[in-house]
Structure 1
Amino acid sequence: MTLVDRLRYLRVVLVLGGLACLALYPLMLFWPSGWAWHIGHSDYPMMIVGIYATLGVFLILAARDPLANLSLIWFTVWSSAVHGAIMAVQAVTQPGQMGHLAGDVPALFIVAIALAILTPRAKWAARLRTHSGH
């Protein structure tokens, strides 16, 4: 796969990842066992929804020029991997949380892996910037 192809696919993954972040609240409502953290009312999930909605908007905006947004993309990679790992441990060790292994845990890892594979490293990004005039 050429660097140009990787950048094209990266743009698609950024938009899809952004849309997934924006879909968090509906997913929590319609599939609570895989996406909600609390039973009953809690203010905490809405704070997380707000953070992920904001991330979703910025991921979609980053798709316009991924090379100018590498720090956001790498933040998303690492924060998704860490969040997924913590949620996986909690799902395995806490009764009633196993549904997350079929919901948010794989989604977090899929986003992290796809972005990590497609995002150019510093050397490649510099080469792409040189060729594209950035």
Structure 2
Amino acid sequence: MADESGLRNLRVALILVGVIFVFGIYPLMIIWPSGWTWHTGHSDYPLMIVGVYATLGVFLLMASRDPLANLSLIWFTVWSSIVHAGIMLVQSFEMPEHHGHLLGDVPALIFVGVLLGVLTPRGTLAERRVG
């Protein structure tokens, strides 16, 4: 029962993160640029990052159907989110104009990484499905 409840929670988290990645990143860049956009003026960076995260979001939505069959994608999302947040954290402290990210995308990506990392099964449940 606990295994099924845990998988249900992981599915919900994958759907929420997937929807936010697909539909939420661009509006956040527009509404709160100091916390979500890293370049000012003309830059191709915002469209690139929106494209990458929207694509990841679509795959997370597909993974929500069968999370145990998609563990590598989920763990990629966990670790890439934490690494990305760590790099942005350092850059936010190095450049005063980016301090707003300490309240925006940095904690958001740490939250995503921790949330999915905590909810993703390890050990017996994961081995039973994958192995």
TM class by shorter chain equals: over 0.9
TM-score computed with the length of structure 1 as normaliser: 0.91
CA distance in 1, matches of 2:82, 2:106: 9
Indicate the SS of the match to 1:64. Answer: coil
In the comparison of the two structures, how many residue pairs are matched?
A: 130
How well do the aligned residues superpose, as a CA RMSD in angstroms?
Answer: 1.7
- After the TM superposition, which parts of structure 1 deviate over 2 Å for at least 4 consecutive aligned residues? none
Deviation digits for residues 52-99 of structure 1, max 9, x if unmatched?
000011111111110111010000000000000011111111111011
* Equivalence map 1:13-24=2 (5 Å): 13-22=13-22, 23-24=24-25
Indicate the SS of the match to 1:25. Answer: helix
TM-score computed with the length of structure 2 as normaliser: 0.93
Amino acid corresponding to residue 31 of structure 2 in structure 1? F
Indicate the SS of the match to 1:120. Answer: coil
Partner of 1:111: 112
The unaligned stretches of length 5 or more in structure 2 are: none
CA distance in 1, matches of 2:106, 2:20: 13
Amino acid corresponding to residue 15 of structure 2 in structure 1? V
Deviation digits for residues 90-125 of structure 1, max 9, x if unmatched?
111111101101110111001100111110114321
CA distance in 2, matches of 1:34, 1:3: 37
Partner of 2:5: 5
